[in-house]
Amino acid sequence: MPGVPLASCHLTEDPRRPRGLGEALGRRCGSKQVELAGKALVLVEFIRGVPGGHYAMSAGGVSFVQIRFNDIIFYENCGGGSFGSVYRARWMSQDREVAVKKLLKVDNEVEILSVLSHRNIIQFYGAIQEAPNYAIVTEYASRGSLYEYLSSIESEQMDIRQIMTWAMEIAKGMHYLHSEAPIKVIHRDLKSRNVVMTADKVLKICDFGASKFHSHTTHMSLVGTFPWMAPEVIQSLPVSETCDAYSYGVVLWEMLTREVPFKGLEGLQVAWLVVEKNERLTIPSSCPASFADLMRKCWLTEPKERPVFKHILSTLEFMSNDSQLPEQCNSFLQNKAEWRCEIEATLERLKKLERDLSTKEQELKEREHRLKIWERKLTEQSSEPPFLPVATKISSELFFESRMEESKSLEMACEIRAPSNGEVDGRSLQAMMEALGDTLVPRPTLCPSIRVNMRAQQNSSKSCRVRKRHKIHMALAVGDFHWSSEDSD
């Protein structure tokens, strides 16, 4: 509704328009639990008399203050939120220090922030909608994020009273989002970086870039930061408000230990450990039992078994009345050197587990690579013709072949007659036969009066043949296939 001047600074119902914007909200949420159905919700200016201020309407039918881009002076970058960078700036016409989150477009976050109002939720002032400049303008928390505070030296002075106060403030803000806001919201990215601290140390939940209306959370995309994310959010499964309870347990662990959750591990490593190995942050053995029990309940794998924030608030109220808890908790906080080794030992175990996984994963990748090569070779081989192509080299040779054959033969005949008394003649014959050498083998035993008739015949023949021949030489090179694997699995 451009051109309508802005007047006051709170959410109000207009009885003159009973079925206006409320109907749009009812359609947007699609839930019978929405109390604003059939009523109009008008967002008016927080500060009276903004020069040139106008209403704007989001895609979901929610009104918000539209702030001019040239009315903002930007200072330093305060860090990055979900889907945008956050800057400290000054809203000139109001002389107010603000936080400006730059966006690619005004989106769901404006729609959510414009209907929220709680002490522990960041206050929304308006949005900039001047292409290409789109941004959200909120109150500025001068002490920075809870994450930054817990990393500072000042945090070493924290006591049980401070921790309990902040635990209650965060739980109250989350309970408002889940149960008391005009439109029920699941944050999905609750972490210490998204909890900011005002000058008087009041905690406020901010950065709703990953948030969704409760009725629109059947299936969620992967958003958030892994160490704080519930298993079902990591897996992009249907979620409920108890995914925020899981994240709350991690923030509570941060306040008690002043340590970074899963320090030294990459996001995907944490995701694998939480989902596949069901690993959780280490709770030191000396941690007060009431805090340890609350964190364990928040980290249960089954979402329905986790406490809702109404029960978390009841638990914190009960703990605040425990007279022994302050002494137990302060002793725990002051003896960090004694129990920090437990956290470090767990981190080393998880890192080793992850390294073993990485090694096995690399082996599987290499094996898969070899199998793909083998499969490709088989595919190529199956597409080849039955007879592989050949490369030939042909040469011819003309030559003459000559063959000569020669044969010799010797024939001998011997007739011996031996009368009864031939001893003298036999001796003569024996001498003659000895002269013949080894021609007669074996030698006969000579007797007297032997008559010998011998005949020898020698034959010889020789032949010669010549042939003309033609020889052809052909060299073939056939394509072949080679593949080997050293895999011994």
Q: Is 189 a catalytic residue?
A: yes
d(CA 37, CA 130): 31
100 falls in which pLDDT band (50, 70, 90)? Answer: very high
CA gyration radius, the chain = 51
| Higher-scoring residue by pLDDT: 325, 396 | 325
- pLDDT of 303 > 90? The answer is yes
pLDDT in tens, 46-63: 333 444 455 555 545 567
d(CA 181, CA 185): 8
Coil/strand/helix, residue 163: helix
Window from 19-28, 108-117, 291-300, 462-471 with minimum mean pLDDT = 19-28
- pLDDT of 35 > 50? The answer is no
Catalytic residue among 95, 159, 189, 480: 189
Q: Burial of 12 by CB count in 10 Å (0-12 exposed, 13-18 middle, 19+ buried)?
A: exposed
- Token pair belonging to 284: 């030191």
- Token pair belonging to 301: 């794998």
Question: Which residue from 178, 195, 194, 198 is spatially nearest to 186, judged by alpha carbons?
Answer: 178
Per-range mean pLDDT, top range of 176-180, 265-269, 470-474: 176-180
- pLDDT of 40 > 50? The answer is no
Tell me, what's the pLDDT at 15? 36
Element (H, E) at 341: helix 336-382
| Higher-scoring residue by pLDDT: 201, 482 | 201
DSSP single-letter state for residue 223:
-
Q: Which amino acid is at 137?
A: V
Window from 15-24, 275-284, 348-357 with minimum mean pLDDT = 15-24
Coil/strand/helix, residue 219: coil
d(CA 208, CA 257): 26
Mean pLDDT of 60-80: 83
d(CA 282, CA 292): 10
Q: Residue 345: what are its φ and ψ, rounded to 5°? A: -65, -40
Residue 56, C-beta contacts closer than 8 angstroms, at least 6 positions apart: 1, 2, 63, 64, 65, 66, 127, 129
- pLDDT of 277 > 50? The answer is yes
From residue 36, how far is each of 42, 43, 115, 149, 208 by CA, in Å?
11, 14, 11, 38, 21
Residue 196, C-beta contacts closer than 8 angstroms, at least 6 positions apart: 122, 141, 143, 144, 145, 146, 203, 204, 206
Window from 75-89, 138-152, 452-466 with minimum mean pLDDT = 452-466
- CA–centroid distance for 463 within its chain: 91
Looking at domain 11-139, its CATH architecture is 2-Layer Sandwich (3.30)
Q: Which amino acid is at 473?
A: H
Neighbours of 61 (CB within 10 A): 17
Mean of all residue pLDDT scores within the chain: 76
CATH: 1.10.510.10, 1.10.10.10, 1.10.357.10, 3.10.129.10. Which one for 146-365?
A: 1.10.510.10
Query: Any idea which residue has 């052809």 for tokens?
Result: 472
Q: Which amino acid is at 328?
A: Q
Q: Burial of 293 by CB count in 10 Å (0-12 exposed, 13-18 middle, 19+ buried)?
A: middle
| Higher-scoring residue by pLDDT: 339, 362 | 339
Same topology between domain 11-139 and domain 146-365: no
Cβ–Cβ < 8 Å for 250, 234: no
From residue 251, how far is each of 154, 189, 193, 242, 400 by CA, in Å?
18, 11, 10, 14, 103
d(CA 257, CA 262): 12
**Boundaries of every domain in the chain:** 11-139, 146-365
pLDDT in tens, 235-255: 989 899 999 999 999 999 999
> Within the chain, how many helices (H) and strands (E) appear?
12, 15
pTM tops 0.85, yes or no:
no
d(CA 117, CA 177): 10
